[in-house]
Amino acid sequence: MYIVSFVPTMEFALPATAALAVLVIVIEFGKGWGLGTYAAMAALSLLLLPNKFVPLLFAGFFGQYPVTKLMAEKLPRWAEISCKALVFNAGILAAYFAGRYLFGVGLDLLPDPLAKYTGWILLLVGNVTFWVYDIALNRCIMLYTRRLQRRLRKTLGI
């Protein structure tokens, strides 16, 4: 996630990509190890990265989502969708408001009169993008379990 310091346009893509590390840990070692990995990555990125918005996105949503996703997919379909949407909205809002009011950072992409609506616009666009991310994560899980898992296990001696 440190790459964001050099490529600031990757503020959303890199925390989403970093979540793949948590996903692999959850698949291989279980949700306890996945949550531990998430906590360590979130704490270290909050401490070490100069841009606090990126680690807040990771800590608020992207880092814990692989664990939530795998647990939610065991529920009935309506509960799964509700759970995922609730976790996304709560995590993104928590990251946004923590960044805004605790760290003084955020997305001020809009002209000044519209800046007060940035959170709502982020939430609206984010909800659409979230479902695309969920589908992409499903594809990443399939790719990992079908093609990469055996190679990784062989390499690590698991």
Where the chain has pLDDT below 50, the residues are: 110
Q: What does the pLDDT read at residue 146?
A: 92
> CA dist 128 to 14, 26, 90, Å?
18, 26, 15
The distance from CA 64 to its chain's CA centroid, rounded to whole angstroms, is 7
The answer for residues whose C-beta is within 8 angstroms of residue 31's C-beta and 6 or more apart is 67, 70, 71
* Burial (Cβ within 10 Å: 0-12, 13-18, ≥19) of residue 113: exposed
Q: What does the pLDDT read at residue 140?
A: 93
Whether the Cβ atoms of residue 62 and residue 16 lie closer than 8 Å to each other? yes
- Give the count of domains, the chain: 1
| pTM, two decimal places | 0.80
Q: What does the pLDDT read at residue 73?
A: 92
Domain with 49 in it? 2-156
Phi-psi region for residue 7, left (φ > 0), alpha (ψ -120 to 50) or beta? beta
Whether the Cβ atoms of residue 83 and residue 75 lie closer than 8 Å to each other? yes
* Residues 3-42: tens digit of each pLDDT: 777 777 787 888 889 999 999 999 999 999 999 999 999 9
Q: What does the pLDDT read at residue 114?
A: 66
Q: What does the pLDDT read at residue 119?
A: 67
Q: What does the pLDDT read at residue 122?
A: 74
